Amino acid sequence: MTVEEMEKRQAEIAEEAKTATGDALAQLFDEAQKLNEGIKEARKQAEDAEKRKQIAQQIEKDEIKTSAVEKQEVRKMEHTSMDSMEYRKAFMDYVLTGEMAPEFRDISVTADNQAVIPPATMNQIVEKMEQYGNILPLVRKLAYPSGVVVPASTLAATGTWMADETAAIDTAKKATTKITFGAYELAAAIGVSFKADIQSLSAFEAAVAENVARAMTKALELAIVSGDGNGKPQGIATTAVKDTKRNVTLSSTLAYKDVISILKAIPGAYSAGTVLTMNESTFWDFMGITDVNGKPVAVLNFNGSAPVAMIFGKKCVFTDYLPSLDDAKAGDVVAYAFNYDNYILNTAYEMDLVQYRDNPTRSKVYQSVGLYDGKVVDDNGLVLVKKGAASSTGH
């Protein structure tokens, strides 16, 4: 399906969603999400294709110095690969004449059969689907060397009604505390053996490079959501909230009053810009709750592109780095309300992606390194939602 066709289908879903309910609405939500991912992937593939072309040209320049013996071995293995055009032609000759060229016999002839049918390999790597990339774009980003300090303070002055115009006015001092960012190293690497490297599909090489970048992004998002601050950024869900009113524990059976408790816990001064973050499975639990008039408290809005999940007007962001209500234990944070502008991710060294040859093994290594630290710089609007003793869904 082309990008244009996917966008057309999204518009159709937006119309159908206006009247859909229950399972039909959930199916439309899933389809809209898949279409949105498909559009992003199609556009990304076009960009990646150009990047791969540039990388391939650079690699070709770098490998001009490769020894003649190595090049000869590479050519031999390329030509004798069962997926190569040369082998396919040799196999056709075998079918017609009963003879197989000597250079192909060692890979094609076995004790049980005289030739191996050349495989037709689809140029695609099947990857496990995971939900990530929702959190990283939302946080505030800085790019300073390690040791950057962010001052934090509260309003110091208090207005006072003066009964006597001759009375002295108290002067309040404004004090600040500091939040210091370190530089924790995040790294990921994948090695590809020499034989696999020279026989691999272009899709395989692209998938390897993408996996390294994906591993870095996932590690960053996991740290932003639930990092413990030990050798990694401090997460939002693990930030201590001292005000008991902003620690909300759900009822044993999820109900309407739990939604009210969460929204009431958000300080009015922090309400604007605050979003709810949870596992997508947890959102569907909230979808089962209705208000006193029988209307669902959670809704999905379709605006022609990606569907937007909302609970009583508060936007919901999904992440797999918070446990679902079904999987969480009592006391676990299953959701939080937070304005992501109040989380800073500082990058002391931007994530890179390099390729190099490990000479002793001749493996090609794809490696990425970055230096990061992250912290909640203002936790006064953070509300942590925890699972109760035996939380379950309800109405």
Nearest to 386 by CA among 327, 335, 342, 326: 335
For position 94, what pLDDT does the model report? 57
Q: Where are the alpha helices (DSSP H) in 109-200?
A: 194-199
Query: Within a 13 Å sphere around the CA of 150, how many CA atoms are in the beta-carbon half?
Result: 22
From residue 43, alpha-carbon distances to 46, 48, 57 in Å are 5, 9, 22
Extended beta strands in 302-376, E state: 308-311, 314-318, 333-338, 343-349, 354-358, 363-376
For position 121, what pLDDT does the model report? 46
141-145, long-range: CB < 8 A, 24+ apart: 141/344, 141/345, 141/346, 141/347, 142/181, 142/344, 142/345, 142/346, 142/347, 143/346, 143/347, 143/348, 143/350, 144/181, 144/346, 144/348, 145/183, 145/348
Query: Domain 131-395: which CATH class?
Result: alpha beta
Compute the distance between CA of residue 342 and CA of residue 378 in angstroms, rounded to an integer.
Answer: 5
Structure tokens at 114: 């005289």
Containing 247, the helix (H) or strand (E) segment is strand 247-249
Containing 47, the helix (H) or strand (E) segment is helix 22-62
For position 26, what pLDDT does the model report? 76
Containing 203, the helix (H) or strand (E) segment is helix 202-226
- Label the pairing between strands 383-386 and 247-249: parallel
Weakly modelled stretches of the chain, pLDDT under 50: 65-66, 68-80, 111-115, 117, 120-125, 127, 395
For position 100, what pLDDT does the model report? 65
Structure tokens at 9: 């289908």
For position 259, what pLDDT does the model report? 94
Q: Rounded to 5 degrees, what are φ and ψ at 246?
A: -100, 15
From residue 138, alpha-carbon distances to 44, 275, 319, 359, 378 in Å are 20, 10, 12, 41, 15
* Contact residues for 22 (Cβ-Cβ < 8 A; gap 6+): none
Structure tokens at 226: 């639930």
Nearest to 298 by CA among 313, 311, 307: 311
Compute the distance between CA of residue 189 and CA of residue 353 in angstroms, rounded to an integer.
Answer: 9
Residue 170 has what DSSP assignment? P
Containing 204, the helix (H) or strand (E) segment is helix 202-226
- Tokens 């676990």 identify what position? 332
